[in-house]
Chain A
Amino acid sequence: MAKVSYTRQDRTARVHISGAQPVFDVQMRRELNQALLQYKADSDAWMAVISSDGPDFAGGPGEPATGSLREQHERYALWAGGYVEAWKPTLCAIQGQCRGEGLALALSCDLRVADETASFSTDFSGGAGEPDVLAAWLLNLVGAAKTFEMLWLNRTYNVHEAQRMGLVNRLATRGAYKPLPPEDGRFPMAVMGATIAVPQGDAITAALKFAEELLLYAPVTRNFQKEIALRSIGVPFHYAQTLELGPNPYASEDRIEGTRAFVENRRPVWHNR
């Protein structure tokens, strides 16, 4: 049986699913939900990486869809990929198959790092037990045209196809670590990358490396951007522009620190306030 653990090192939290072939059952959904709530409540955690053991990230439900509709509803009340309202980043590390409810969990994360072995499928077979959160996530992540294609054609997409669609943000490749930028406050303005090189070429190490890079930047801004992004969904355009959400980065200590560090040629020290 898979187990979900929550740990934290410095500012990076780890939500890790252990077990050779993670499949979703009631117990695992509960543990996953608890771990995400723990991350939400942990003010020292500024970023979370969600990962799993084994050759595959995660598949679909591990139990048959039986019983009354009420029983099925209760069993699936904590669908992986359901909404945990945490206004700070979640990164997903994906290797091997990422299907069905496992895909829903990956899509519910904000960024996805995958290795060369990763493949993606909604795994929609027309039976009960398919995660009904997939349509909502896909629609907002890749648009309606790709959503229908993924849901109905039930193709398996390799990591390169998924990256072209935008479902994979960084491809883990084998290579030496890229050094962090020098502490001169002049963050390099190189073009946004598509890969992350790590010695083993694995998704988990790459996701942790990506988290380390992102932690160089202002948490207030990151958290604000996520809240704006998700709360603007379904809101009229001009109203969305007036939304005053979360701590305003322009009124934050980090805004003063970011500008001064730039002028003084040093790396900023963020306080997340």
Chain B
Amino acid sequence: MAQAPTETAAAPILIKERDDGIFIARMNRPERMNAMGGGLREALEDVWFEFRDDATLKVMIITGVGDRAFCAGADLRENDRKARELGAQSAQALLDAQRAAGIAPSFTANNFHLYKPVIAAINGWCLAGGCEMAMGCDIRIIERHAKMGLPEVKRGMGAKNTTHKLYFLTYLASGLEIVWTGDPLSAERAVELGMANEVVATGQSLARAMEIARDICRRPMAYMRYHKERVFQSVGVPLAQALAMEQRFPPHESEDYRRGLQASLAAKLPGWPNP
């Protein structure tokens, strides 16, 4: 059985807040570097769908509680304890048991055809599954003291879900170096290589992510979704096909476009609705 999220009124493991179309999810296991255990993994799986399926929500921000870690990935102590409890004598048996228990390894926003903007506010160590989750977001704001890394190779794990997203972000020249050394990148190097977008001072990632989110909220959501969908659907297809896809689902036929056009003509700030 998948472990139920251990949310309580006092200390939910995933703190969820709404701020005028912006959905903020804060991983709340600072004593375990916000590692995915104690029900956090399951709570995270649910939260992507909650955001995706709520038409009033336009932008999501994911971050961690505290200043030590964004998310350190899987909780290895809990994983080891569960492996011993399941009595699995092989990793294949363990994987089968985990799959049967509904513990899905897919916890990044990329996996769900989620075409709304997602921002990661990286407030500290961002490792392994936590780094995969951040790379699954569309924009990454990283604090100066934070580090990003994929150390799975040091533990015999896989970093499967977003490995190809890494090569998409950094190209092959650096991608294999990152996954084979398992060493973390400084915030500045992460930006140089394309793994993060902007470095901010310690403690400022959420504030900067909110600024960006508010700016995005002022834009037509039909276009934001359209661009995200087009980017991902343009990967791995012939250029001519990618260009031809631009003709599908044109946002200028949407209600957003008409309202924006009318507002522009009237020299008013556009109050973009959800499409």
Contact = CB atoms under 8 A, between A and B. Distances in A.
Contacts of B235: 236-237, 240
A270 B157 CA distance: 12
A250 B88 CA distance: 13
Contact of A189 (B90, B151, B168): B151
B156 A218 contact: yes
Q: How large is the interface on B (under 10, 10 to 19, 20 to 34, 35 or more residues)?
A: 35 or more
- Chain B's interface: helix, strand, loop or mixed, by majority? helix
A83 interface: no
Contact of B180 (A165, A225, A262): A225
A82 interface: no
A140 B236 contact: no
Interface stretch (A16-24, A93-101, A226-234): A226-234
Given A232-B164, A241-B110, A258 B180 contact: no
A24 B180 CA distance: 30
Interface in B49-84: 76-77, 79-80, 83
Nearest to A164: B192
A81 interface: no
A252 B172 contact: no
A219 B158 CA distance: 11
A221 B156 contact: yes
Contacts of A230: 172
Contact of B185 (A191, A224, A226): A191
A214 B181 CA distance: 6
Contacts of A75: none
Given A221-B158, A229-B172, A255 B91 contact: yes
Contacts of A258: 154-157
Interface residues of A, number: 58
B197 interface: no
Contacts of A260: 80
Given A89-B180, A248-B95, A259-B79, A235 B236 contact: yes
B204 interface: no
B32 interface: no
B97 to A, nearest CB: 11
Interface in A71-126: 89, 110-111
B249 to A, nearest CB: 17
A263 B77 contact: yes
Given A189-B184, A221-B152, A229 B160 contact: no
A254 B184 contact: no
A41 interface: no
Contacts of A165: 173
A252 B157 CA distance: 8
B92 A192 contact: no
Interface of A: 89, 110-111, 140-143, 165-167, 169, 187, 189-193, 213-214, 216-218, 220-222, 224-226, 228-230, 232-241, 248-260, 262-263, 268, 270
Interface of B: 76-77, 79-80, 83, 90-92, 94-95, 105, 110-111, 113, 147, 149, 151-161, 163-164, 167-168, 170-186, 189, 193, 232-233, 235-237
Given A141-B171, A141-B173, A240-B236, 6 more contacts: A191-B147, A221-B159, A237-B168, A255-B158, A256-B90, A257-B156
25 contacts: A189-B147, A191-B184, A192-B178, A192-B184, A218-B153, A225-B153, A225-B179, A225-B180, A234-B236, A235-B164, A237-B110, A237-B168, A237-B232, A237-B233, A239-B236, A249-B158, A250-B158, A251-B92, A251-B94, A251-B95, A256-B91, A258-B154, A259-B83, A259-B156, A263-B80
